[in-house]
Structure 1
Amino acid sequence: MKSKAKKQFEKINSDCNLFSQLFVAAQVRNTKLEVFFKHKNHPWPPALSLHGRLRLPSNKSELLHCIDASVQPETPTYFDAKVVDGAAIVHALPQENTSTFSKYSDNIFIPWIERQLQGCSRMDNVWDTYRPDSLKATTREKRGKGLRRKVSRNTKLPSNFAGFLQGPTNKEELFALLTEDVVKHDYPLTKQVYITSGPRVQSNQANITLMGESDHEEADSRICLHVNDALREGATTVLIRTVDTDAIVILVGVFHDLVQHHPRMQLWVGFGTGKHFRYYHVNSICQELGEDKARALPFFHAFSGSDVTSQFSGKGKKTAWKAW
């Protein structure tokens, strides 16, 4: 595979050769230089494309520094509901002392769910879905494909677990196994656990009305459906756990629609991992931004570069925000 620097060198060399040929032709035909430079010499705009591919942003989380509220209330110690990006949690949890996928579920993932339930009454785990024709395919290819390994309860956990999680099929099978175990596990009667399974939602309690099916591919947007359902069921303080800037952007974008129906709601986001973990109070962010900017934030995020749209060359989120 060619390095980025080598591709750039080949592109510049090609541009020089093309420019020389066109310039000579323009001189012979007595073409005006103003007209000559009006014509494009690339099949794609270099400001938005990197060697014919999307110019993906290198640091989406810069946007969070732009919208961060100057003041926010103290983070609650107990929430009515927690909604988590399940894939992000699987990436973050350790795999020490687990030899098989079954032991990973029993000794790592289920105990993590139980610990989270100590600080809330309801917990929703939302998985991504993986479609071969998705716009996200470009971003996933950039992250790598990983080694394929069939997931079953007795299958040995791969030594390179992060590499294993780069494969969409690997993740689908792992998430299905974890979903089955989460639903079957015994929790305190006062605790409700919801977990997605493809387009459907499953729960540990059989006597409750489940959410309808959803065709959302990304957990980032599907999380909003679970937040709305928790609010309709009486929750007021809701924590969303994620590591993706997109999730916060979408929540800010739909905040004013949610607050119209649930004026007492308090939305919090637990973002990041390890020493970079922190809480964002969505109510405070939206109050400082104002309704117009809050609603427009998803467009701004997509326009300035996201997982499926190019950023402008040399123009990051902070530069775009200052211009906005």
Structure 2
Amino acid sequence: MGSSPKPTKLPCCITSVLEDITPIDLAPKDALFIQDGMALLHILTNMPPTFGEICLQILDQMVAKKHFLFSTDSYHPQSIKAQERERRGKSEKIIVDGPSTRKPGDFKQFLANDDNKKQLCQLLFRVWSDQRAASRLEKTDMAVLIVEGRAHKLTSSNGKVEAHKIHTIYSNQEETDTRVVLYLHHAAAIGYKDAVVRTPDTGVFVILLYHAHEIKLNVYLDTGSGKHRRLINVTEFAESLGKNYCAALLGYYVWSGEDCTSAFKGKGKVGPLKKLQTNPKFQEAFARLGDEWSIHHEVDESLEQFACVMYGHSRELSVNTVRGKMLCKMVGEDEKLTAKSKVDLARLPPCRAALQPHNKRVNHRVALYKRAHIAIVEKPKPYDEGQGWMRNAKDLLEPIWPSKPILPASLIDLLVAIDPKDKETEDEEDMEVDEVDFDAMFESDEEL
């Protein structure tokens, strides 16, 4: 990473960064408080019986901040996030007729359906714009509600509420995670000196670190809960890390596994990040992720080499070569891989045919994050060539699976055909041995 100043203390992993920073006791006076709305909805307690009262309960929490911006996510069909939510499963749709509709018994299950969340967000705007909210909003100096990417400044006078559209921060970005950077730039433009972002999401932290150098105000992160709640000066910490390292950290965070990209099974983030910290070449590669919508060939090669380093083979350039060496060591010299072999194939690195689409998906996600300051982002579809996803028969997004053999030819000699008679004998004796799971040679998109 060349000229960037080396920080005095680098984080061991993304989440442990927060443990290494001295928290601040109080937010600066008159700071704009930016609330990740969906995160708050998921931790609500002691909720009243109707949706209208729940909306007012949330407003009461926001009014206490005096200057607030409450942002909810958008829900785009056939998006990457929609694909991820579909994979996790969804709950039954419930019709929210209005403020008097009673809350279901399982509120978290209610939030597991995109249509339910859309209805609740729309109801928030309806209730906060109603006369019942007027006396509450009179206590605020700045109240902004964002629903489906559209921002409204809410003002109250003479018992009435008026909603004024803020066109400059209308965004087609789907998540608050990315839109929050746009909101921070807006806050600086209208005169705020400080802003506090309230969210439990680690992804928001690394996005803020990347953008903090260009945001013309002091950014604080409010995270955790109870005795673990802390306020972090993101601007100060980003300056100590340096701009280039923050860019590398963002790329590494997504590459090593986040909401919509796979993780490397059994590797975590701590050990590999320590290796990254000592190698400027790999820092440069991770920092370049997302600069363009298509991953550069040199970056792709460097990430493959880093995967080799991560699996303990720093002199190798090919993950397929590393897979071969590791499998030979697992099986043993002059041995064959059979159904009786007690070998955990998931410990192998992904094959190149799996790693390359993963790198493309990572590049797409990082590209979105690096453009978080842009209101309307012109971007390729996830299923466009070079982005790492495809549409299946049901017209849903799914990761591109390897089209080439997942087992290189050099490993074929390790395999031995299983005699059907042997298999029958095993079944009869009910032998308690682990069968070789060749599907584990390529894991699902949850873990590479």
**TM-based fold match above 0.5:** yes
Instruction: Map 1:235-274; keep pairs closer than 5 Å.
Output: 235-258=192-215, 262=216, 265-274=217-226
Q: Give 2:113's match in structure 1, choosing from 160, 167, 181.
A: 167
| Aligned counterparts of 1:271 and 1:234: Cα–Cα separation in 2 | 25
| Aligned counterparts of 1:150 and 1:83: Cα–Cα separation in 2 | 29
Cα RMSD after superposing both structures: 2.3
Displacement of 1:77: 5.4
Counterpart residue identity of residue 219, structure 1: T
Q: Give 2:181's match in structure 1, choosing from 215, 220, 224.
A: 224
Instruction: Map 1:154-193; keep pairs closer than 5 Å.
Output: 154-184=100-130, 185-186=133-134, 187-188=137-138, 191-193=141-143
In the alignment, which residue of structure 2 is the partner of 1:86? 37
CA contact (8 A) 2:63 2:140 kept: no
In the alignment, which residue of structure 1 is the partner of 2:91? 146
Answer with 214-223 or 275-284: which moved more.
275-284
| Aligned counterparts of 2:138 and 2:224: Cα–Cα separation in 1 | 29
In the alignment, which residue of structure 2 is the partner of 1:204? 154
Counterpart residue identity of residue 157, structure 1: K
Displacement of 1:199: 2.8
CA contact (8 A) 2:219 2:234 kept: yes
Q: Which one scores higher on RCO, CA 8 angstroms, separation ≥ 6?
A: 1
Instruction: Map 1:5-24; keep pairs closer than 5 Å.
Output: none
Answer with 191-200 or 218-227: which moved more.
191-200
Q: Quick one: percent identity of the two aligned structures?
A: 27
1:301 corresponds to 2:253:
yes
Counterpart residue identity of residue 180, structure 2: I
Displacement of 1:289: 1.4
CA contact (8 A) 2:96 2:120 kept: yes
Over 3 Å counting, the alpha-carbon distance change for 1:145 and 1:89 in structure 2 is same
| Aligned counterparts of 1:281 and 1:288: Cα–Cα separation in 2 | 11
Over 3 Å counting, the alpha-carbon distance change for 1:279 and 1:143 in structure 2 is farther
CA contact (8 A) 1:79 1:239 kept: no
Give 5+ residue unaligned stretches, structure 2. Answer: 1-11, 156-161, 277-448
Largest Rg, 1 or 2? 2
Q: Give 2:76's match in structure 1, choosing from 109, 131, 136.
A: 131
SS at 2:31 equivalent: strand
In the alignment, which residue of structure 1 is the partner of 2:49? 99
1:114 corresponds to 2:67:
no
CA contact (8 A) 1:240 1:269 kept: yes
Deviations 1:96-140 (A, max 9, x none): 4x221112223x2121122232xxxx2111111112211123432
Displacement of 1:68: 5.4
| Aligned counterparts of 1:306 and 1:214: Cα–Cα separation in 2 | 23
| Aligned counterparts of 1:204 and 1:285: Cα–Cα separation in 2 | 33
| Aligned counterparts of 2:52 and 2:164: Cα–Cα separation in 1 | 28
Over 3 Å counting, the alpha-carbon distance change for 1:179 and 1:319 in structure 2 is farther
Displacement of 1:233: 0.7
| Aligned counterparts of 1:137 and 1:207: Cα–Cα separation in 2 | 30
| Aligned counterparts of 2:138 and 2:232: Cα–Cα separation in 1 | 29
| Aligned counterparts of 1:161 and 1:229: Cα–Cα separation in 2 | 33
SS at 2:171 equivalent: coil
Displacement of 1:69: 4.9
SS at 1:136 equivalent: helix
Counterpart residue identity of residue 49, structure 2: S
Q: TM-score of the superposition, structure 1-length normalised? A: 0.72
